[in-house]
Amino acid sequence: MNIKIILNGGLKTCCKSYSKEYIHDAVKSWLTEKDALEVIDVQEQAYELDELAAYAKQFFQENTFPIVYIDDRLIAIGQIPDKNSLFEVSAKLDDYQITREAIYKAAKEYELVPAEQEADEV
């Protein structure tokens, strides 16, 4: 399993911020030796979001981060799954992969879709 986590200034909670090194060490402790983990902080190194993550960022802005991929499939936006969820998702990637439609639906539920864009998407 190849996991990639994209951060923007670390992982931020209401009261604290965690560095990319801290996130790397925490998530790495969940994995086996054959699993690969890459943690990127876009404030420390250049990284261009893929089309799907960029689409999500249009709506969710900075709340898009962290972004999590398993084997180059987008599986989480705005949070890092816990250990059990990560392994559950990895076993059923086709069922849990985030789609453009799912991003749009979530943005619409949170009333983040401008009226003019809503007309274009329908």
Q: Which tens digits make up the pLDDT trace of 9-42?
A: 999 888 899 999 999 999 999 999 999 999 999 9
Which of these ranges, 18-22, 23-27, 104-108, 112-116, has the smallest mean pLDDT?
A: 112-116
pLDDT above 70 as % of the chain = 95
Q: Are 78 and 13 in contact (CB under 8 A)?
A: no
- What average pLDDT score do residues 83-95 get? 93
Task: Name the average pLDDT for the chain.
Answer: 93
- Predicted pLDDT at 59: 95
Nearest alpha carbon to residue 23 among 32, 13, 34: 13
Domains and CATH numbers, the chain: 2-121 (3.40.30)
Is the pTM for the entire model greater than 0.95? Answer: no
Beta-strand relationship, 73-77 and 17-18: unpaired
- Predicted pLDDT at 120: 63
Distance of CA 119 to the CA centre of its chain: 27
Q: Is the pLDDT assigned to residue 88 strictly greater than 80?
A: yes
Q: Is the pLDDT assigned to residue 122 strictly greater than 60?
A: no
- What average pLDDT score do residues 84-97 get? 92
